[in-house]
């Protein structure tokens, strides 16, 4: 999301050297590409588990979405995740058993422009219209050079829901 979106006019997979030129802290071994380029969804959609819509305030209908009554501000983004069961935390570390959300803000206007998520084992980001990546730490996308996303301003976490365990419990109850 954010101001970098205008840079993604051509939809194609970037090579490792192109990604590392745009985000200078990325290096072989501290990130891995996990998808092909797509303009179908962005980082906010990715963090919310939606790979069918482009989440952007002011755009509605078709392939665009923005949650009703959600402002495109840092408090609005934080509130969106709190409504989904996340709570604020100060820890930037990956925590087994917890999903995490990291909200980046632009260093010029301090508005949110990117969100990364952790599944309890690695950080993941959708880089605008290009690939999804897994990255070793949040600071790899921070900065004010090239396409970097500013700084991580808020981090939220919630316990990972154990779907398989719930299904097994339901089956036992039905069989009883």
Q: What is the pLDDT of residues 95-153, one digit of tens each?
A: 999 999 999 999 999 999 999 999 999 999 999 999 999 999 999 999 999 999 999 99
- The confidence score (pLDDT) of residue 60 equals 80
Q: What is the pLDDT of residues 20-31, one digit of tens each?
A: 999 999 999 999
Query: Is the pLDDT confidence value at 171 over 90?
Result: no
Task: Provide the β-strand partners of residue 32.
Answer: 134
Total structural domains within the chain: 1
Tell me the average pLDDT across 50-79.
93
- The confidence score (pLDDT) of residue 51 equals 94
| Domain encompassing residue 151 | 2-175
**Tokens (6 digits) for 139:** 């600071």
- Dihedral (CA of 55, 28, 148, 10) sign: negative
């Amino acid at each position: 999301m954010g101001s970098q979106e205008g840079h993604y006019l051509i939809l194609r997979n970037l090579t490792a050297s192109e990604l590392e030129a745009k985000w200078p802290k990325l290096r072989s071994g501290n990130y891995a590409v996990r998808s092909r380029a797509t303009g179908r969804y962005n980082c906010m959609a990715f963090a919310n588990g939606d790979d069918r819509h482009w989440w952007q305030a002011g755009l509605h209908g078709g392939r665009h979405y923005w949650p009703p009554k959600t402002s495109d501000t840092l408090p609005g983004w934080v509130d969106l995740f709190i409504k989904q069961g996340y709570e604020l935390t100060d820890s930037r570390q990956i925590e087994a058993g917890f999903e995490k959300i990291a909200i980046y803000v632009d260093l010029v206007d301090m508005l949110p422009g990117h969100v990364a998520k952790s599944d309890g084992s690695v950080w993941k980001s959708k880089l605008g219209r290009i690939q999804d990546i897994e990255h070793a730490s949040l600071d790899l996308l921070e900065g004010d050079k090239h396409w970097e996303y500013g700084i991580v301003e808020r981090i939220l976490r919630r316990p990972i829901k154990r779907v398989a365990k719930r299904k097994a419990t339901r089956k036992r109850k039905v069989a009883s």
